[in-house]
Amino acid sequence: KAGVTQTPRYLIKTRGQQVTLSCSPISGHRSVSWYQQTPGQGLQFLFEYFSETQRNKGNFPGRFSGRQFSNSRSEMNVSTLELGDSALYLCASSYTGNTEAFFGQGTRLTVV
Amino acid sequence: DQQVKQNSPSLSVQEGRISILNCDYTNSMFDYFLWYKKYPAEGPTFLISISSIKDKNEDGRFTVFLNKSAKHLSLHIVPSQPGDSAVYFCAASGGNTGNQFYFGTGTSLTVIP
C-alpha cells in the first residue's frame, strides 16, 4: 500500500510569490490534514479536509488556504510569501480524521 | 498557546537502558493521545496511541502511560536501541478540538551505543 506522497520535496521561492503544495493520501483515506513545522515550534495545525470540505482550521492567516479533490488528493496554497513562511510543510492522512494519521515526507519550503 | 508540552528538548540514554519521554497537556477535554517518531528529512512515523479510557498501552518495546488527573503521559522504550535515536512528538486531540491534533515541540532522543 503506497504511503502519503507530497510533492515537491523541496521548493525555493521569493518573497511575494505564491506556492502550491500537493498531497496524495493513502488509498481509502478521506481525511487530509496539513501542518507547518518550524524549529522550536513543533507541528502547527493548518487545516483538515474531509470529503472535499474543510472541517477544521488552525490559527494561520488567510494567505494559507487549501482544498481537497474528489479523489481525496489535497493542495495547499500560500500567497504573498513571507520569509517566516520558510518551514517544512507536512501532510497527514487518515480514514476519518480522529484516528492515527500517517504523514508524508513533507515539502521543505524556503522563502528568500 | 501550547496545549501540549514536552519540556525536555533532548534526552541521552545508554543502549539497553530505559528511555522515558514525557508530555504534559492542559486541555482536560483531550481524550486521544499519540506518539510519533521523526527522523531528519522524513515525515513523522506513528508509534503508539492511547485513549483516555485506558491508562497504559503496550506495543513491543514501547509503552505509553496516561495519568489523566495529572494531565501527563509518558513513553517508555525498553530496551533502548541506537536506531531509536530520533525526535519524538506527542500529540493530543478530543473534545471540542474536532479532528485537530495538537503536537508538542518534540524531544530529541539519543541512544548511545
Residue B1 reports pLDDT greater than 80: no
The pLDDT of residue A2: 75
Mean pLDDT confidence for B38-63: 94
Mean pLDDT, each 10-residue run in order, chain A (112 residues): 90 98 95 90 90 92 97 97 96 85 94 97
The pLDDT of residue B41: 80
Which residues of chain B lie closer than 8 angstroms to A56, CB-CB?
98-100
Rounded to a whole number of angstroms, the CA Rg of chain B reads 13
Give the cell for residue B58. 503496550
Residue B98 reports pLDDT greater than 70: no
Which residues of B fall below an 8 Å CB-CB distance to A?
2, 4, 6, 32, 34, 36, 41-46, 49, 89, 91, 93, 98-106
In this complex, the residue of B41, B46, B93 whose CB is nearest that of residue A98 is B93
Could you tell me if A87 lies within 8 Å of chain B, comparing CB atoms?
no
- Cα–Cα dist A5/A109, whole Å: 16
Residue B95 reports pLDDT greater than 80: no
Q: Which of A54, A91, A98, A102 to mutate to test the interface with B (most CBs of B within 10 A)?
A: A98
Closest residue by Cα to residue B33 from A99, A106, A26: A99
